[in-house]
Structure 1
């Protein structure tokens, strides 16, 4: 069991495994990144084939897992499962903006147990912080293939806040088998959605109309996709050792 008082970064990494972690943080517990604006675009090294499992997170001001905001080299094939969060602002947060470019795609999350938070689902295309003024205002990010399934949450202020980019919507969002218990003093708007497209199945409370698309091959028996293949990093066996004080 790994105990941290700071967050864990995965920045421009390939074949990485983060597991059996207990993290208390004032920022995102796990931050997935790949470079900032024109510098990340130029370097062009995505974070991909990332496994996060058996994570317990406490972070009152940020997310259990954050993708971005520095994602200009791209983020793809992220697999997270068995995630527990307490007193955390959000579960999995995607942060990007005009000028970031690149993509966040093929993200798979299943098995979340969430206790007291502002937002369960949070995506924003309006995270405007930039490294400098030389970023390309025409560099639009692609956010697609985002899958969440098997989620139980309690004491939540707002179920979802999903904000894409006008003219550049976030697409391929899939949410299934999610039960969200609202706090006694929850927000009047349980869901807020703009410039997003997706499908849902078995989600309570009922999601916004923009997530009411037709079920497709992304749905496996009514549930959102989660890959069954084994990544190379899962074939790595960690050895244990011991020592004796003399």
Structure 2
């Protein structure tokens, strides 16, 4: 990721039995950026996290990384999502002194996991009391259930998703069939 990731669009996602629906991870020393990320129409079922962003990933290819290289994480948009049997709605942990900014989450409804499908009772109890875990982030939310952490205050918005048409949007797949019959 040292070169940066920008202008990503993802939509019509179905995630089943996975650790997270959407995950963004980075760490001090990575530098570069993750920005202008647009995700919409997500259907998630049976997972630990619906939204997982971590600034403390801590993995580096070698010991020669620059501990002063801070990544820029901004303009992250999640909209139109439904989740069922999810242990924690959001675990959004930025970097102290280098917060993730411009996070927008709108039109999201997540049903928390029932006790019988969560591996540990302790994890279930924590998730029930705190479905969101947030630090060192900033942004807004709109029409999100359960209510997000205070760092994502309610504001009547629909999170952005680009309306321009990409070349891939005009691709038409052709199908053909070959019959193998007896002679």
**TM-score, normalised to structure 1's length?**
0.65
Name which one, 1 or 2, has greater alpha-carbon Rg. 2
Matching residue of 1:192 = 133
**1:135-154 equivalences in 2 (<5 Å):** 135-154=65-84
Matching residue of 1:122 = 52
CA deviation string 1:15-50 (max 9, x = no partner) = xxxxxxxxxxxxxxxxxxxxxxxxxxxxxxxxxxxx
158, 161, 181: which is aligned to 1:226?
A: 161
Deviation at 1:245, TM superposition (A): 4.6
165, 170, 182: which is aligned to 2:95?
A: 165
Deviation at 1:91, TM superposition (A): 0.5
Gaps of 5+ in 2: 116-123
SS at structure 1 position matched to 2:151: helix
Give distance in 2, aligned partners of 1:80 and 1:226.
10
SS at structure 1 position matched to 2:143: strand
Matching residue of 1:174 = 104
Aligned residues between the structures = 170
CA deviation string 1:77-128 (max 9, x = no partner) = 1111111111111101001001111111111111111111111010000111
What is the aligned-residue RMSD (CA, Å)?
1.6
Gaps of 5+ in 1: 1-70
